[in-house]
Chains A and B, each alone.
Chain A
Protein backbone atom coordinates (compact mmCIF):
# COMPACT_ATOMS: atom_id res chain seq x y z
CA UNK A 1 0.00 0.00 0.00
CA UNK A 2 2.78 2.42 0.90
CA UNK A 3 4.62 1.55 -2.31
CA UNK A 4 1.51 2.24 -4.44
CA UNK A 5 0.75 5.50 -2.71
CA UNK A 6 4.22 7.01 -2.45
CA UNK A 7 6.70 5.39 -4.84
CA UNK A 8 5.98 7.79 -7.73
CA UNK A 9 6.17 10.87 -5.52
CA UNK A 10 9.40 9.80 -3.83
CA UNK A 11 11.04 8.64 -7.04
CA UNK A 12 10.23 11.92 -8.81
CA UNK A 13 11.50 13.95 -5.87
CA UNK A 14 14.75 11.94 -5.86
CA UNK A 15 15.09 12.34 -9.65
CA UNK A 16 14.44 16.08 -9.57
CA UNK A 17 16.89 16.49 -6.71
CA UNK A 18 19.72 14.25 -7.93
CA UNK A 19 19.20 14.65 -11.69
CA UNK A 20 20.10 11.02 -12.29
CA UNK A 21 17.56 8.31 -13.13
CA UNK A 22 19.66 5.44 -11.79
CA UNK A 23 20.62 7.34 -8.67
CA UNK A 24 16.92 8.17 -8.11
CA UNK A 25 16.03 4.44 -8.27
CA UNK A 26 18.70 3.59 -5.69
CA UNK A 27 17.69 6.51 -3.49
CA UNK A 28 14.02 5.49 -3.62
CA UNK A 29 14.94 2.01 -2.40
CA UNK A 30 17.10 3.42 0.37
CA UNK A 31 14.30 5.78 1.43
CA UNK A 32 11.72 2.97 1.59
CA UNK A 33 14.16 0.84 3.58
CA UNK A 34 14.66 3.74 5.96
CA UNK A 35 10.88 4.15 6.16
CA UNK A 36 10.37 0.51 7.19
CA UNK A 37 13.10 0.89 9.82
CA UNK A 38 11.60 4.08 11.25
CA UNK A 39 7.87 3.24 11.12
CA UNK A 40 7.96 2.41 14.84
CA UNK A 41 9.04 6.01 15.54
CA UNK A 42 6.07 7.50 13.67
CA UNK A 43 3.77 9.55 15.88
CA UNK A 44 0.17 8.90 14.78
CA UNK A 45 -0.90 12.42 15.64
CA UNK A 46 1.35 13.77 12.87
CA UNK A 47 0.56 13.99 9.17
CA UNK A 48 2.07 10.84 7.62
CA UNK A 49 2.81 12.39 4.19
CA UNK A 50 4.69 15.30 5.73
CA UNK A 51 6.59 12.95 8.04
CA UNK A 52 7.56 10.66 5.15
CA UNK A 53 8.57 13.61 2.95
CA UNK A 54 10.71 14.97 5.81
CA UNK A 55 12.44 11.59 6.02
CA UNK A 56 12.92 11.70 2.22
CA UNK A 57 14.27 15.24 2.30
CA UNK A 58 16.72 14.38 5.11
CA UNK A 59 17.98 11.31 3.27
CA UNK A 60 18.41 13.17 -0.04
CA UNK A 61 20.30 16.05 1.57
CA UNK A 62 22.48 13.66 3.62
CA UNK A 63 23.38 11.68 0.52
CA UNK A 64 24.00 14.90 -1.42
CA UNK A 65 26.48 16.02 1.26
CA UNK A 66 28.24 12.67 1.19
CA UNK A 67 28.45 12.22 -2.58
CA UNK A 68 28.18 15.74 -4.04
CA UNK A 69 26.13 15.04 -7.15
CA UNK A 70 26.71 18.58 -8.39
CA UNK A 71 29.96 17.38 -9.94
CA UNK A 72 28.03 15.13 -12.25
CA UNK A 73 26.06 16.03 -15.34
CA UNK A 74 22.29 15.77 -14.93
CA UNK A 75 20.47 13.22 -17.09
CA UNK A 76 18.46 14.51 -20.01
CA UNK A 77 14.91 14.30 -18.63
CA UNK A 78 13.45 14.08 -22.15
CA UNK A 79 15.04 10.66 -22.36
CA UNK A 80 12.64 9.40 -19.72
CA UNK A 81 9.47 11.37 -20.50
CA UNK A 82 7.32 12.24 -23.46
CA UNK A 83 7.59 15.90 -24.43
CA UNK A 84 4.17 17.56 -24.31
CA UNK A 85 3.02 18.93 -27.68
CA UNK A 86 0.55 21.57 -26.56
CA UNK A 87 2.51 24.47 -28.01
CA UNK A 88 0.97 26.83 -30.52
CA UNK A 89 3.95 26.51 -32.87
CA UNK A 90 6.95 24.17 -33.23
CA UNK A 91 9.32 27.14 -32.64
CA UNK A 92 7.62 27.92 -29.35
CA UNK A 93 7.93 24.26 -28.37
CA UNK A 94 11.65 24.20 -29.16
CA UNK A 95 12.29 27.43 -27.21
CA UNK A 96 10.37 26.19 -24.19
CA UNK A 97 12.17 22.87 -24.21
CA UNK A 98 15.48 24.67 -24.46
CA UNK A 99 14.62 26.85 -21.44
CA UNK A 100 13.53 23.79 -19.51
CA UNK A 101 16.81 22.06 -20.29
CA UNK A 102 18.83 25.09 -19.15
CA UNK A 103 16.83 25.37 -15.92
CA UNK A 104 17.17 21.63 -15.27
CA UNK A 105 20.95 21.89 -15.66
CA UNK A 106 20.91 25.08 -13.58
CA UNK A 107 19.71 23.04 -10.58
CA UNK A 108 23.28 21.81 -10.16
CA UNK A 109 24.33 25.33 -9.20
CA UNK A 110 21.84 25.57 -6.33
CA UNK A 111 22.74 24.49 -2.81
CA UNK A 112 20.96 21.39 -1.53
CA UNK A 113 18.57 23.31 0.78
CA UNK A 114 17.63 25.89 -1.87
CA UNK A 115 17.24 23.19 -4.52
CA UNK A 116 14.90 21.24 -2.27
CA UNK A 117 12.78 24.32 -1.51
CA UNK A 118 12.41 25.18 -5.22
CA UNK A 119 11.53 21.58 -6.14
CA UNK A 120 8.84 21.39 -3.47
CA UNK A 121 7.37 24.78 -4.33
CA UNK A 122 7.67 25.18 -8.09
CA UNK A 123 7.79 21.62 -9.45
CA UNK A 124 5.62 19.84 -6.93
CA UNK A 125 3.40 22.87 -6.27
CA UNK A 126 3.30 22.55 -2.48
CA UNK A 127 2.07 25.33 -0.19
CA UNK A 128 4.68 27.26 1.80
CA UNK A 129 3.33 25.96 5.13
CA UNK A 130 3.60 22.36 3.86
CA UNK A 131 7.20 22.97 2.77
CA UNK A 132 8.00 24.53 6.15
CA UNK A 133 6.70 21.37 7.84
CA UNK A 134 8.61 19.04 5.50
CA UNK A 135 11.85 20.99 5.80
CA UNK A 136 11.38 21.71 9.53
CA UNK A 137 12.06 25.41 8.92
CA UNK A 138 10.21 28.64 9.72
CA UNK A 139 7.89 29.91 6.99
CA UNK A 140 10.00 33.03 6.38
CA UNK A 141 13.16 30.97 5.81
CA UNK A 142 11.36 28.76 3.30
CA UNK A 143 10.09 31.78 1.37
CA UNK A 144 13.52 33.34 1.32
CA UNK A 145 15.08 30.08 0.05
CA UNK A 146 12.51 29.77 -2.72
CA UNK A 147 13.11 33.43 -3.67
CA UNK A 148 16.86 32.93 -3.77
CA UNK A 149 16.51 29.75 -5.81
CA UNK A 150 14.23 31.38 -8.37
CA UNK A 151 16.54 34.37 -8.63
CA UNK A 152 19.59 32.15 -9.13
CA UNK A 153 17.83 30.06 -11.78
CA UNK A 154 16.56 33.19 -13.58
CA UNK A 155 20.08 34.60 -13.64
CA UNK A 156 21.49 31.31 -14.96
CA UNK A 157 18.80 31.20 -17.66
CA UNK A 158 19.48 34.84 -18.60
CA UNK A 159 23.23 34.30 -18.74
CA UNK A 160 23.02 31.12 -20.82
CA UNK A 161 20.49 32.57 -23.24
CA UNK A 162 22.55 35.73 -23.68
CA UNK A 163 25.68 33.63 -24.27
CA UNK A 164 23.86 31.66 -26.97
CA UNK A 165 22.46 34.76 -28.64
CA UNK A 166 25.85 36.44 -28.48
CA UNK A 167 27.49 33.59 -30.36
Chain B
Protein backbone atom coordinates (compact mmCIF):
# COMPACT_ATOMS: atom_id res chain seq x y z
CA UNK B 1 0.00 0.00 0.00
CA UNK B 2 1.31 3.50 -0.84
CA UNK B 3 1.90 6.24 1.76
CA UNK B 4 -1.29 8.16 0.87
CA UNK B 5 -3.47 5.15 1.64
CA UNK B 6 -1.58 4.49 4.87
CA UNK B 7 -1.95 8.14 6.01
CA UNK B 8 -5.71 7.71 6.05
CA UNK B 9 -5.41 4.61 8.23
CA UNK B 10 -3.06 6.15 10.81
CA UNK B 11 -5.77 7.75 12.91
CA UNK B 12 -8.00 4.62 13.12
CA UNK B 13 -4.81 2.60 13.77
CA UNK B 14 -4.04 4.92 16.69
CA UNK B 15 -7.49 4.21 18.10
CA UNK B 16 -7.24 0.49 17.38
CA UNK B 17 -10.23 0.56 15.06
CA UNK B 18 -8.76 -1.31 12.07
CA UNK B 19 -9.54 -4.86 11.05
CA UNK B 20 -6.63 -7.35 11.41
CA UNK B 21 -5.59 -7.17 7.73
CA UNK B 22 -5.50 -3.38 7.67
CA UNK B 23 -3.66 -3.31 10.98
CA UNK B 24 -1.03 -5.68 9.65
CA UNK B 25 -0.66 -3.63 6.45
CA UNK B 26 -0.08 -0.45 8.46
CA UNK B 27 2.43 -2.12 10.78
CA UNK B 28 4.36 -3.58 7.84
CA UNK B 29 4.41 -0.21 6.09
CA UNK B 30 5.55 1.68 9.20
CA UNK B 31 8.50 -0.72 9.54
CA UNK B 32 9.75 0.12 6.07
CA UNK B 33 8.70 3.79 5.57
CA UNK B 34 10.43 6.29 7.82
CA UNK B 35 8.28 9.24 6.61
CA UNK B 36 5.03 7.52 7.62
CA UNK B 37 6.58 6.27 10.85
CA UNK B 38 7.56 9.85 11.73
CA UNK B 39 4.09 11.11 10.79
CA UNK B 40 2.52 8.45 13.00
CA UNK B 41 4.70 9.42 15.93
CA UNK B 42 3.75 13.10 15.47
CA UNK B 43 0.08 12.12 15.27
CA UNK B 44 0.42 10.19 18.52
CA UNK B 45 2.12 13.18 20.13
CA UNK B 46 -0.67 15.45 18.82
CA UNK B 47 -3.38 13.23 20.28
CA UNK B 48 -1.62 13.01 23.66
CA UNK B 49 -1.02 16.76 23.78
CA UNK B 50 -4.65 17.52 22.93
CA UNK B 51 -5.86 15.20 25.69
CA UNK B 52 -3.61 17.10 28.10
CA UNK B 53 -4.99 20.55 27.29
CA UNK B 54 -6.00 22.33 30.49
CA UNK B 55 -9.61 23.22 31.20
CA UNK B 56 -9.87 26.88 32.14
CA UNK B 57 -11.98 28.22 34.97
CA UNK B 58 -14.64 30.76 34.17
CA UNK B 59 -14.06 34.24 35.57
CA UNK B 60 -16.42 35.52 38.26
CA UNK B 61 -17.24 38.49 36.08
CA UNK B 62 -18.47 36.24 33.29
CA UNK B 63 -20.53 34.14 35.73
CA UNK B 64 -22.24 37.31 37.00
CA UNK B 65 -22.93 38.46 33.46
CA UNK B 66 -24.41 35.06 32.58
CA UNK B 67 -26.69 35.18 35.62
CA UNK B 68 -27.94 38.62 34.65
CA UNK B 69 -28.90 37.61 31.08
CA UNK B 70 -32.54 36.56 31.74
CA UNK B 71 -33.37 39.78 33.64
CA UNK B 72 -31.58 41.89 31.01
CA UNK B 73 -33.61 40.21 28.32
CA UNK B 74 -36.88 40.84 30.22
CA UNK B 75 -36.18 44.53 30.67
CA UNK B 76 -35.37 44.86 26.99
CA UNK B 77 -38.66 43.21 26.11
CA UNK B 78 -40.67 45.53 28.33
CA UNK B 79 -39.16 48.78 27.20
CA UNK B 80 -37.66 48.49 23.76
CA UNK B 81 -39.35 45.62 22.01
CA UNK B 82 -41.75 47.86 20.08
CA UNK B 83 -38.84 49.80 18.62
CA UNK B 84 -37.64 46.88 16.55
CA UNK B 85 -40.95 46.34 14.73
CA UNK B 86 -40.34 46.48 10.98
CA UNK B 87 -43.55 48.42 10.40
CA UNK B 88 -42.10 51.39 12.31
CA UNK B 89 -38.91 51.56 10.27
CA UNK B 90 -40.18 54.05 7.61
CA UNK B 91 -41.36 56.34 10.40
CA UNK B 92 -37.98 56.18 12.13
CA UNK B 93 -36.23 56.86 8.83
CA UNK B 94 -38.42 59.88 8.10
CA UNK B 95 -37.94 61.16 11.66
CA UNK B 96 -34.17 60.76 11.35
CA UNK B 97 -34.07 62.70 8.08
CA UNK B 98 -36.26 65.43 9.57
CA UNK B 99 -34.03 65.67 12.65
CA UNK B 100 -30.93 65.92 10.47
CA UNK B 101 -32.53 68.74 8.46
CA UNK B 102 -33.65 70.57 11.60
CA UNK B 103 -30.23 70.24 13.23
CA UNK B 104 -28.59 71.42 10.01
CA UNK B 105 -30.84 74.49 10.06
CA UNK B 106 -30.39 75.19 13.79
CA UNK B 107 -26.61 74.82 13.89
CA UNK B 108 -25.82 76.44 10.54
CA UNK B 109 -23.49 79.48 11.03
CA UNK B 110 -25.49 81.57 8.49
CA UNK B 111 -28.89 80.81 9.95
CA UNK B 112 -30.15 84.35 9.11
CA UNK B 113 -29.39 83.87 5.44
CA UNK B 114 -31.33 80.60 5.43
CA UNK B 115 -34.25 82.35 7.16
CA UNK B 116 -34.23 85.10 4.53
CA UNK B 117 -34.05 82.67 1.66
CA UNK B 118 -36.91 80.60 3.11
CA UNK B 119 -38.93 83.83 3.50
CA UNK B 120 -38.19 84.80 -0.07
CA UNK B 121 -39.15 81.39 -1.37
CA UNK B 122 -42.41 81.43 0.58
CA UNK B 123 -43.27 84.90 -0.76
CA UNK B 124 -42.40 83.88 -4.29
CA UNK B 125 -44.60 80.83 -3.83
CA UNK B 126 -47.50 82.94 -2.57
CA UNK B 127 -47.23 85.46 -5.42
CA UNK B 128 -47.06 82.61 -7.97
CA UNK B 129 -50.19 81.07 -6.49
CA UNK B 130 -51.89 84.52 -6.53
CA UNK B 131 -51.04 84.99 -10.19
CA UNK B 132 -52.24 81.54 -11.09
CA UNK B 133 -55.50 82.17 -9.24
CA UNK B 134 -56.03 85.49 -11.08
CA UNK B 135 -55.35 83.78 -14.41
CA UNK B 136 -57.83 81.04 -13.59
CA UNK B 137 -60.47 83.61 -12.68
CA UNK B 138 -60.06 85.62 -15.87
CA UNK B 139 -60.26 82.36 -17.84
CA UNK B 140 -63.53 81.47 -16.08
CA UNK B 141 -65.00 84.90 -16.97
CA UNK B 142 -63.98 84.64 -20.59
CA UNK B 143 -65.46 81.15 -20.75
CA UNK B 144 -68.75 82.49 -19.33
CA UNK B 145 -68.75 85.25 -21.95
CA UNK B 146 -68.27 82.85 -24.83
CA UNK B 147 -70.47 80.11 -23.35
CA UNK B 148 -73.54 80.86 -25.55
CA UNK B 149 -71.46 81.22 -28.70
CA UNK B 150 -69.69 77.96 -28.03
CA UNK B 151 -72.97 76.12 -27.46
CA UNK B 152 -74.40 77.41 -30.73
CA UNK B 153 -71.27 76.39 -32.62
CA UNK B 154 -71.40 72.91 -31.12
CA UNK B 155 -75.05 72.55 -32.09
CA UNK B 156 -74.16 73.59 -35.68
CA UNK B 157 -71.59 70.79 -36.01
CA UNK B 158 -72.80 68.41 -38.70
CA UNK B 159 -72.60 65.33 -36.48
CA UNK B 160 -74.99 66.72 -33.85
CA UNK B 161 -77.44 68.06 -36.44
CA UNK B 162 -77.70 64.65 -38.08
CA UNK B 163 -78.51 63.13 -34.72
CA UNK B 164 -81.31 65.64 -34.10
CA UNK B 165 -82.88 64.86 -37.42
B51 touches A122 (CB 8 A): yes
Interface, chain A (partner B; CB < 8 A): 3, 7-8, 11-12, 15-16, 21, 25, 28-29, 32-33, 36-37, 77, 80-82, 84, 96, 99-100, 103-104, 118, 122-123, 125, 143, 146-147, 150-151, 153-155, 157-158, 161
A150 touches B49 (CB 8 A): no
A3 touches B63 (CB 8 A): yes
User: B117 → chain A, closest Cβ, in Å?
Assistant: 48
A157 touches B42 (CB 8 A): yes
B56 touches A99 (CB 8 A): no
Determine chain A's interface SS by DSSP, over half rule.
Answer: helix
Interface, chain B (partner A; CB < 8 A): 7-8, 10-12, 14, 38-40, 42-43, 45-47, 49-59, 62-63, 65-67, 69-70, 73
Which of the residues B12, B38, B39, B49 comes within 8 Å of A100, measured between beta carbons?
A: B49
Cβ contacts under 8 Å, B62 to chain A:
7, 11, 25, 28-29
Cβ contacts under 8 Å, A32 to chain B:
66, 69
Task: Sort A-B residue pairs by CB-CB distance and give the 10 closest, nearest first.
Answer: A122-B50, A154-B43, A147-B11, A81-B54, A154-B42, A3-B66, A158-B42, A153-B46, A100-B49, A150-B11
Which of the residues B8, B45, B67 comes within 8 Å of A147, measured between beta carbons?
A: B8
Contacts A3-B66, A154-B43: A125 and B51 contacting too (C-beta < 8 A)? yes
Please list 25 pairs of residues, one from A and one from B, whose beta carbons are closer than 8 Å in the complex, sorted by A's number: A3-B67, A8-B56, A11-B62, A16-B53, A29-B62, A29-B69, A33-B73, A37-B73, A80-B56, A81-B56, A84-B52, A99-B46, A100-B49, A103-B46, A122-B51, A123-B53, A146-B11, A147-B8, A147-B12, A150-B14, A151-B7, A153-B46, A153-B50, A154-B39, A158-B38
